[in-house]
Amino acid sequence: MKYLSTRGHAERKRFCEILLEGLAPDGGLYLPETYPQVDAAMLDKWRAIYRDSGYADLAFEVLSLYIDDIPAADLKAICRKTYTEAVFGTSEIVPLRPLEPGLYLEALSNGPTLAFKDMAMQLLGNLFEYELGRRGEELNILGATSGDTGSAAEYAMRGKKGVRVFMTSPQGRMSPFQQAQMFSLQDENIHNIAVDGVFDDCQDIVKAVSNDLDFKRRYKIGTVNSINWARLMAQVVYYFAGYFQATKASPHPRKISFTVPSGNFGNVCAGHVARMMGLPIAQLVVATNENDVLDEFFRTGVYRVRASADTHETSSPSMDISKASNFERFVFDLLGRDAARAAELFGARLPAQGRFDLSGDAAFRSAAQHYGFVSGKSTHADRLRTIRDTYQRFDTMIDTHTADGLKVAREHMQAGVPMIVLETALPIKFAATIEEALGRLPPRPARFEGIEALPKRVQLMPADAALVKAYIASHVR
């Protein structure tokens, strides 16, 4: 399996080469040259593997189709080390919970940080440790977070050999629970940097440091952001696992649909990949909050990036995005893998004009028919109503992002087609809004009891890239 860039760079790479890289050299995103095809016989085989041997072995089957430069026995060991009941809480890893006939929640949030990002990040941590060890190299991950990504990265990389994490976050702007999750980690290879500023200041610092190519090379700076292909690939697995669970009673050859609370388009893009591989998916429903960049595109064909001032702070903050960093992957496929057009749209037109318009394009008009994509949007009032309704009718507490998904899912149900809503976080991460909706606090898993009172390991710093560089330099041996 070789990987290409969405912007047409001539070079083709293998998995372990792109694992530690971010963007392709031409600024594009990596995708496999072709999507491996899964036929009915293979689906039957995988169904049996998931049922009899578990999620880790299913993950190995899927990943094997995309990774041919790690020996099979090693890859299987990595999957088995990653997806354990001890880490993810159940033997199914991603259990399906029925709500009402034909409507399910797939739990992706029982990992170490209680959000779906653990599903991919935990694998990434083990892949990084393996590959860096094999090469005898080190990596210093520099990131910016407003919540879920940073903690998922830290919990995935803590104690891993060859890896350090330097995570910037806006001082005082994460929820107390999210802060405590990150700052209570005492591992020597994890560094929290609380910046006196907002999330954009943190991102600017990461950009400034990464643009200093000498520094970047000298200190082996890398990232774990959502454009990393390995993260996307890991997420493909739970679409298969959800399908097998939803069709357990009547395996052949029904289609099912998924609704995905979306921000950077990483999660739902994995659904697109699963569908391209042949998983019988009828619809991929993209659910957004008030930051409706993606809903606008699927409704109108216009992709319009928002300015920071026009990006709303909402009660589903992990979907508060101004542009969707994985979207280029889907548009590349939508345009028949025309790299020249993708390069023009994302490399030239978007930076210059902040928007592009595919409404006149036959490809856009077929997005629903050929790719299953539809969309919808949810607001704060919708979230409160959905959280309340779900609690009252089903005795189930859901988080704010999942509520956005459930609200939009109901608008796209089709007769006879099971709908799975991906649960992307547990309610305890967003306790204030749950309390607003229900007048009571969400339950807290026992292992997080009292974390706010634990000693904190964090460095406060003004929003200044030079100071962050000095901090990194003094903590890299």
Select from 238, 237, 265, 236 the least CA-distant residue to 108. 238
Which residues, other chains included, contact 447 with Cβ-Cβ below 8 Å and sequence gap of 6+?
none
CB of 12 to ligand PLP, least distance (A): 26
Q: How many residues does the chain have?
A: 477
- Interaction between residue 378 and ligand PLP (CB under 6 A): no
d(CA 127, CA 230): 9
End-to-end CA distance of the chain, in Å? 37
- Decide whether 111 or 261 has the Cβ nearer to ligand PLP: 261
- Decide whether 262 or 375 has the Cβ nearer to ligand PLP: 262
- Interaction between residue 418 and ligand PLP (CB under 6 A): no
Select from 468, 341, 405 the least CA-distant residue to 104. 405
Question: What percent of the chain is helix, strand and coil (3-state, nearest 5)?
Answer: 50, 15, 35
- Interaction between residue 271 and ligand PLP (CB under 6 A): no
Q: Which stretch binds ligand PLP (CB under 6 A): 52-60, 132-140, 261-269, 296-304?
A: 261-269
d(CA 361, CA 356): 11
Angle at Cα 231 formed by Cα 230 and Cα 234, nearest 5°? 85
d(CA 150, CA 158): 12
Give the C-alpha distances (Å, rounded to integers) separating 451 from 90, 261, 445, 454.
23, 28, 11, 5
- Candidate list 129, 148, 295, 382; residue touching ligand PLP; CB under 6 A: 148
Q: Which stretch binds ligand PLP (CB under 6 A): 67-75, 128-136, 236-244, 262-270?
A: 262-270
- Decide whether 4 or 421 has the Cβ nearer to ligand PLP: 421
- Interaction between residue 442 and ligand PLP (CB under 6 A): no
- Interaction between residue 425 and ligand PLP (CB under 6 A): yes
Q: Which of 2, 13, 81, 117 is catalytic?
A: 117
Beta-bridge partner residues of 288: 377
- Decide whether 28 or 266 has the Cβ nearer to ligand PLP: 266
Site string for ligand PLP, 283-322 (x = CB under 6 A): -----------------------------------xx---
Please answer whether residues 30 and 3 qualify as being in contact, where contact means their C-beta atoms are separated by less than 8 angstroms: yes
- Interaction between residue 197 and ligand PLP (CB under 6 A): no
Please answer whether residues 70 and 130 qualify as being in contact, where contact means their C-beta atoms are separated by less than 8 angstroms: yes
- Decide whether 286 or 465 has the Cβ nearer to ligand PLP: 286
CB of 88 to ligand PLP, least distance (A): 16
CB of 204 to ligand PLP, least distance (A): 20
Checking 16-21 for CB contacts under 8 A at 24+ apart, the result is: 16/67, 16/69, 16/70, 16/131, 18/229, 18/230, 19/127, 19/128, 19/131, 19/228, 19/229, 19/230, 20/128, 20/131, 20/132, 20/139, 20/222
The H or E element that residue 410 is part of is helix 400-410
- Interaction between residue 375 and ligand PLP (CB under 6 A): no
- Interaction between residue 266 and ligand PLP (CB under 6 A): yes
Q: Which stretch binds ligand PLP (CB under 6 A): 1-9, 25-33, 189-197, 258-266?
A: 258-266
- Decide whether 28 or 263 has the Cβ nearer to ligand PLP: 263
Which residues, other chains included, contact 109 with Cβ-Cβ below 8 Å and sequence gap of 6+?
115, 116, 118, 399, 423, 424, 425, 426
- Interaction between residue 427 and ligand PLP (CB under 6 A): no
- Decide whether 267 or 386 has the Cβ nearer to ligand PLP: 267
d(CA 150, CA 155): 9
- Interaction between residue 223 and ligand PLP (CB under 6 A): no
Give the C-alpha distances (Å, rounded to integers) separating 327 from 6, 206, 226, 278, 332.
11, 21, 11, 21, 9
- Interaction between residue 265 and ligand PLP (CB under 6 A): yes
- Interaction between residue 420 and ligand PLP (CB under 6 A): no
Task: List helix spans (H) across 161-309.
Answer: 176-183, 199-211, 213-218, 229-246, 266-277, 293-300
CB of 354 to ligand PLP, least distance (A): 20
- Decide whether 264 or 375 has the Cβ nearer to ligand PLP: 264
Q: Which stretch binds ligand PLP (CB under 6 A): 263-271, 350-358, 435-443, 465-473?
A: 263-271
Q: Which stretch binds ligand PLP (CB under 6 A): 239-247, 260-268, 345-353, 385-393?
A: 260-268
Which residues, other chains included, contact 5 with Cβ-Cβ below 8 Å and sequence gap of 6+?
11, 24, 25, 26, 28, 29, 30, 339
Segment 79 to 118, residues that bind ligand PLP, using CB under 6 A: 115, 117
- Candidate list 8, 263, 271, 376; residue touching ligand PLP; CB under 6 A: 263
- Interaction between residue 424 and ligand PLP (CB under 6 A): yes
- By CB under 6 A, the count of residues binding ligand PLP is 16
Does the annotation mark 2 as catalytic? no
Interface residues toward ligand PLP, by CB under 6 A:
115, 117, 148, 226, 261-267, 318-319, 401, 424-425
The catalytic residue positions are 117
